[in-house]
A = this chain, B = another copy of it.
Amino acid sequence: MTGDLLIRSVRPWPHTAGGPETDVLCQGGSIAAINSDIPAPDGVPVVDGRGGVLLPAFADAHAHLDSTRLGLPFREHTAGPGLAGLIENDRANWRSAEKGVTDRATYTLGRTIAAGATLVRSHAQVDTDSGLERLEGVLAAKEAHAARATVQVVAFPQCGILRDPGTEDLLDQALRAGADLVGGIDPAGYDRDPVRHLDIVFGLAERHQRGVDVHLHDSGELGAFEIELICERTAALGMAGRVTISHAFALSTVDSDRQVALIDLLAANDIAVTTVAGGRANPLPLRRLRRAGVRIGLGQDGIRDYWSPYGNGDMLDRAWQLAYRNGFRADDEIEMCVDIATRGGAHALGVDRHRMLEGDSADLVVVPGDSVAAAVMDREVRTLVVRAGTLVAANGELYA
């Protein structure tokens, strides 16, 4: 039966080297049993975890699959300064890629799955230059990998809504064409009118009954004000649990008291936060957010594109970055980063059955390592990737 699988010889988190190896039985796409020496039911395929660490599959909570150039010849980074310079650089160059959006997004999504992610939220740029071409490419990549991963697609107004007239109508079309959420971008700092911008975004979300995911790089009090505006609209429309703020640099650029107040506001409205573990920006207050009950996810962001040369499709590598950037050394701190990259990130995306408990969806990854922290440090090729009880990748390559 589809979704039946017996995984032998794995050490489920939190067991470490010397801890017991066990088996995992998947039935009908869910985890049926985690136990030692489970007999193989008739006709159920058996795979060998080779003693690796068993984790929930990774959840990439913030990717830009539409812009990736992974696998293509490396191009020099040519952007001018600031967000506007990055946006213009992309607009000037994206059409000249050696392959179209569908091929590029499909390739990078495949690499992401092979590295252990079975849940991905990708933004797809919607603007008057590219229309719905990028969205359609990401939707095609989602379809191509439908058996291997769940993909949520955000109709993302990268070039602004008010700055790029016509975008509101395109977002409306995008939501009818299959986008799962509506995005926004720096309503004040970039689009220059936070109230109008957010009213359009939340208006579209309400009309189409979809979630919201807003890019918010604006920092300090400006970004904090925008977080308040987002919370107000979330409450007014009864959208608690369906709104995400990406980056949310304001949280790490206000003082400690203000930070606590903002975190409480996010928690009260059940607004999720995603980070990409950037190298330069101050890290988010991960512990405070989690203690307050705010859902946090980790994402790849752009993956070798006109925005940035970084990124490789590997969420374990990204979890390493999150730990490194926060200066985490203790195993429990590193494991918190793995949680944010796996079950925590899934929760941020509204997916609950991704906790590696019996009865949950059998979305799992096996990675060599003496312990979870060691696996993060070593970042070895993934032994197995399982999605809903089906083997989708092994030894770093997609399983045909």
Interface 0/1 of A300-335, CB less than 8 Å to B? 000010011110100000000101111101110010
**Given known A-B contacts A74-B369, A371-B74, A373-B76, A327 and B279 have beta carbons under 8 A apart:** yes
A235 at interface, CB cutoff 8 A? no
Residues of the B chain whose Cβ atoms lie less than 8 Å from the Cβ of A278? 327
Q: Is the CB of B334 within 8 A of A309?
A: yes
User: How far apart are A307's CB and chain B's nearest CB, in angstroms?
Assistant: 8
Interface of A is mostly: loop
User: How far apart are A62's CB and chain B's nearest CB, in angstroms?
Assistant: 17
A38 at interface, CB cutoff 8 A? no
A147 at interface, CB cutoff 8 A? no
Q: Is the CB of A76 within 8 A of B279?
A: no
Residues of the B chain whose Cβ atoms lie less than 8 Å from the Cβ of A330? 77, 79
Q: Is the CB of B17 within 8 A of A74?
A: yes
A370 at interface, CB cutoff 8 A? yes
A8 to B13, CA, bound (A): 48
Q: Is the CB of B309 within 8 A of A377?
A: yes
Residues of the B chain whose Cβ atoms lie less than 8 Å from the Cβ of A279? 323-327
Q: Which residue in B74, B307, B324, B374 is a CB contact (below 8 Å) of A374?
A: B74
Q: Is the CB of B370 within 8 A of A73?
A: yes
A280 at interface, CB cutoff 8 A? yes
A362 to B304, CA, bound (A): 33
Chain A contact patch, size range? 20 to 34
Q: Which residue in B77, B281, B371, B374 is a CB contact (below 8 Å) of A373?
A: B77
User: How far apart are A30's CB and chain B's nearest CB, in angstroms?
Assistant: 32
Residues 101-128 (chain A) with a chain B CB within 8 angstroms: none
The closest CB in chain B to the CB of A283 belongs to B280
Residues 69-88 (chain A) with a chain B CB within 8 angstroms: 73-74, 76-77, 79
Q: Is the CB of B373 within 8 A of A280?
A: no
Residues of the B chain whose Cβ atoms lie less than 8 Å from the Cβ of A307? 329
User: How far apart are A258's CB and chain B's nearest CB, in angstroms?
Assistant: 22
Interface 0/1 of A365-391, CB less than 8 Å to B? 000011101100110000000000000
A213 to B371, CA, bound (A): 36
User: How far apart are A165's CB and chain B's nearest CB, in angstroms?
Assistant: 30
Residues 323-371 (chain A) with a chain B CB within 8 angstroms: 323-327, 329-331, 334, 369-371
Residues 122-179 (chain A) with a chain B CB within 8 angstroms: none
Residues of the B chain whose Cβ atoms lie less than 8 Å from the Cβ of A312? 377-378
A278 to B325, CA, bound (A): 8
Residues of the B chain whose Cβ atoms lie less than 8 Å from the Cβ of A16? 76
A16 to B73, CA, bound (A): 11
Residues of the B chain whose Cβ atoms lie less than 8 Å from the Cβ of A77? 329-331, 373
User: How far apart are A16's CB and chain B's nearest CB, in angstroms?
Assistant: 8
The closest CB in chain B to the CB of A17 belongs to B73
A371 to B369, CA, bound (A): 32
Q: Is the CB of A310 within 8 A of B74?
A: no
Q: Which residue in B79, B281, B325, B326 is a CB contact (below 8 Å) of A329?
A: B79
Not counting A76-B371, A278-B327, A309-B377, a sample of 19 additional A-B residue pairs whose C-beta atoms are within 8 angstroms of each other reads A16-B76, A17-B74, A74-B370, A74-B373, A74-B374, A76-B331, A77-B329, A77-B330, A79-B329, A279-B323, A279-B325, A279-B326, A280-B327, A281-B327, A304-B377, A309-B331, A309-B334, A310-B324, A321-B324
In the A-B complex, the 4 residue pairs with the closest CB atoms: A280-B327, A74-B374, A74-B370, A279-B324
